[in-house]
Structure 1
């Protein structure tokens, strides 16, 4: 099976590389970009895998997409019946109506682009861009890639499951971008956070001797239209949240954007972990009430359910998250992300001993 090797990879970057190599045998292409996205905002995050696309090209692609794009927008594909589309097919073989074609593809000798949003339901987990230098992508190509969308998205979101990792203390990292999208200021905390992140795709150089990955350029550009945010996972397994806001100079002209990186809160991470364990919306609600320490009867009152139904939900949650007690569940979904190194194993064992394993 085409996906079997790819979905066995231990991380998203490895999955992207394997899936791309195998997909090329069935749907030939000359260049490609595989990206992770934040499932709640749909904005590019990390990691990213690129083939035959240079760093400046990545920056120009996203600048054009965000500021002038109108054809096959990723936001539109996220909610479309089929989240895959070819540029020439969509435009009736008139790609000149696409800013991406005119400003990015044509100067590089690229003939067609096939885009896909990797999604489960309406939550985008990632995107794919495949490029050809000749010959348009066919309807059969679209259908084949569409058959991969959900299994790839499911595997991509599964990488958010907790692991044994540490959270180091640290203040917010600050990066400032000017109106041209260039990085002009950065503090030491931001440098440290960026060093901890996995490969984010081909990075551009800055005057501050700091490589700027595509996701950072993208959220800085996105912030020109208003506040934006994403979550990112470091190589060590901890979660960061990235906020970006527009800045105005005196007189009202656009000056650029400010980007802040800082450790994520439990409330920031929980939706991602819930996705990774494939918890339903109702199971997430039950889990949140369990985390507050409410007994079964109180949860039933809050959610207008019978106690028996609540117990069934808790049993299903235990099975999906592979825990045997409420304390272990709370520890796995909320606590483990924020426990200092060395305390995790000991504290988890203490919690299991101190917490009853019943569903009540």
Structure 2
């Protein structure tokens, strides 16, 4: 009689994610399906985050909850402290947590859970994971259970922890799959500027800003896209300008900058948001990081992109030409290119 081999969550997901980069919706679907086989949930949300700012840039949900993301953004980014915020989860080792376990069986101690997850949707527990690579968070996962479901256990956390590195790498490949960072795509003409009132409702916007909103996923049940709401909520909390980056479906990257309007303060402030195309110089270093280059390899690669030869790189970075060549071999392998020309074509500076 054949013996059935038990397949771990990590092995199951690795079989789906290893290899070519997947588009983000496809990647999210694979994660949902694999996790459900090992750690059941009532609702799940997978999001990407800007590794520099840490805020959500894109999100996928297993089902429509019937509301936009205003309350989530306010709960996640609009308060200084709460239990199991994603920024806190990302600093853990491993980067996972469950609200029932982390409150000693009193999830109502969490404002987010008490006033949003439980009150709005009847969820009874939430497991969170951050997808961290080299100290930067590239995405996150939230799994919610409903009335009648058991709380998450330490075994559930341990299983999800095994896929954090794997999914972080898959997100990085998705964001910088071949062609997405360098394709010249027309951008809307004119400045992209929008203004929201203290309730985060859009009051004014330039035509280019309205086009950008649609590119970011459009209005969700009347709410602005999650990436815009995240920078607004963070700006309200800090009372000062804040920025983040996000990628559009066509491969373009936008930098979102939010700031309180003059004469308004705190939560009652009108907020102005500008949306500008992210410079390629910024994206080049981000792409190198996403492909797993070390800091030193990034330094070498950026000099190559600027046209510096081996001797010049060696002098600039105080290393031997032989060491430069060793770094280049490692860089080519990680970027899956065979020459400086191929690398430059793939990661072109402005």
User: Same-fold call, TM > 0.5?
Assistant: yes
Contact 1:6 1:14 in 2 (8 A): no
Contact 2:50 2:137 in 1 (8 A): yes
Name the CA shift for 1:196/1:166 in 2 (closer, same or farther; >3 Å).
Answer: farther
Q: Which piece of structure 1 moves more, 248-257 or 50-59? A: 248-257
Matches within 5 A, 1:203-242: 203-205=220-222, 212-224=224-236, 225=238, 226-242=240-256
| Residue of structure 1 equivalent to 2:139 | 126
- C-alpha displacement at 1:105, in angstroms? 2.1
Q: Secondary structure at the match of 1:79?
A: coil
Does 1:265 find its partner at 2:276?
Answer: no
**Alpha-carbon displacement from aligned partner over 1:162-189 (angstroms, at most 9, x marks no partner):** 4163321433311111112211111111
Matches within 5 A, 1:207-356: 212-224=224-236, 225=238, 226-249=240-263, 254-334=268-348
d(CA) in 2 for partners of 1:303, 1:20: 44
Contact 1:157 1:272 in 2 (8 A): no
Structure 2 stretches lacking a partner, 5+ long:
1-10
d(CA) in 2 for partners of 1:188, 1:66: 28
d(CA) in 2 for partners of 1:55, 1:9: 31
- C-alpha displacement at 1:33, in angstroms? 1.1
Name the CA shift for 1:269/1:110 in 2 (closer, same or farther; >3 Å).
Answer: same
- C-alpha displacement at 1:258, in angstroms? 1.3
Matches within 5 A, 1:1-360: 1-3=11-13, 4-5=15-16, 10-46=22-58, 48-56=59-67, 58-68=69-79, 69-107=81-119, 108-133=121-146, 134-159=149-174, 160-163=176-179, 165-169=183-187, 170-197=189-216, 199=217, 203-205=220-222, 212-224=224-236, 225=238, 226-249=240-263, 254-334=268-348
**Alpha-carbon displacement from aligned partner over 1:290-342 (angstroms, at most 9, x marks no partner):** 2222222221122121111011111222232233333332221125xx7xxxx
d(CA) in 2 for partners of 1:233, 1:79: 24
TM-score (norm 2): 0.86
- C-alpha displacement at 1:251, in angstroms? 8.5
| Residue of structure 2 equivalent to 1:343 | none
Contact 1:114 1:130 in 2 (8 A): yes
- C-alpha displacement at 1:121, in angstroms? 2.5
d(CA) in 1 for partners of 2:117, 2:215: 33
Contact 2:197 2:269 in 1 (8 A): yes
d(CA) in 2 for partners of 1:180, 1:61: 14
Q: Which piece of structure 1 moves more, 126-135 or 138-147? A: 126-135
d(CA) in 2 for partners of 1:94, 1:24: 25
- C-alpha displacement at 1:53, in angstroms? 5.0
d(CA) in 2 for partners of 1:330, 1:250: 46
d(CA) in 1 for partners of 2:138, 2:220: 22
d(CA) in 2 for partners of 1:179, 1:304: 53
- C-alpha displacement at 1:9, in angstroms? 6.7
Name the CA shift for 1:252/1:319 in 2 (closer, same or farther; >3 Å).
Answer: closer
Q: Secondary structure at the match of 2:69?
A: helix
- C-alpha displacement at 1:276, in angstroms? 3.1
d(CA) in 1 for partners of 2:326, 2:209: 45
Name the CA shift for 1:183/1:55 in 2 (closer, same or farther; >3 Å).
Answer: farther
